[in-house]
Amino acid sequence: MNMADRIRYLRKTKGISQEELVGKIGVSRQAVSKWESEQSLPYLEKIITMSDYFGVTTDYILKGIEPVADKEQKSSELKSKILYIASTAFVAIGLFSAFAGWHETQTMYTVWGSMIIQAVGIAGYFVGRLLSVARPPFAVNWLNLSGFLFMPLSMVTGAISIAFFKQGWIAPYPISIDHVVLFVIAYISICVISFLVLKRRTTEVRV
The answer to whether 15 and 135 have CB atoms below 8 angstroms apart is yes
**Same domain? 23 vs 97:** no
Give residue 204's pLDDT: 67
Cβ neighbours, 10 Å, residue 32 = 24
Instruction: Say whether both 48 and 107 belong to one domain.
Output: no
**110 and 161 inside one domain:** yes
> What's the Rg (C-alpha) of the chain?
23
Q: Which residue has the higher pLDDT, 70 or 93?
A: 93
What's the rounded Cα separation, in Å, for the pair 96 and 91? 9
Confidence at residue 109, expressed as pLDDT on a 0 to 100 scale = 85
| Cβ neighbours around 112 below 10 Å, total | 10
Task: Tell me what pLDDT residue 141 has.
Answer: 93
Q: Indicate whether 85 and 144 sit together in one domain.
A: yes
* pLDDT at 103 exceeding the cut of 90: no
- Residue 53's CATH number: 1.10.260.40
Query: Which of these ranges, 7-11, 178-182, 187-191, has the smallest mean pLDDT?
Result: 7-11
Mean pLDDT of 21-42: 90
Q: What is the predicted pLDDT for the residue at 108?
A: 85
Q: Which domain holds residue 37?
A: 3-66
Q: What is the pLDDT of residues 105-139, one digit of tens each?
A: 888 888 899 999 999 999 999 998 888 777 788 99
Q: What is the pLDDT of residue 205?
A: 61
* Residue 59 shares a structural domain with residue 106: no
- Do 120 and 166 share a domain, yes or no? yes
pLDDT tens-digit map of 40-89: 999 999 999 999 988 888 988 888 776 555 566 777 788 888 999 999 99
The lowest-confidence range among 27-36, 64-73, 102-111, 150-159 is: 64-73
Please check whether residues 144 and 193 belong to one and the same domain: yes
Last residue of a domain, one of 28, 50, 66: 66
pLDDT at residue 202 in the model: 73
- Is the same domain home to 49 and 73? no
Asked if 22 and 28 count as a contact pair (C-beta separation under 8 A), the reply is yes
Whole-number pLDDT of residue 69: 55
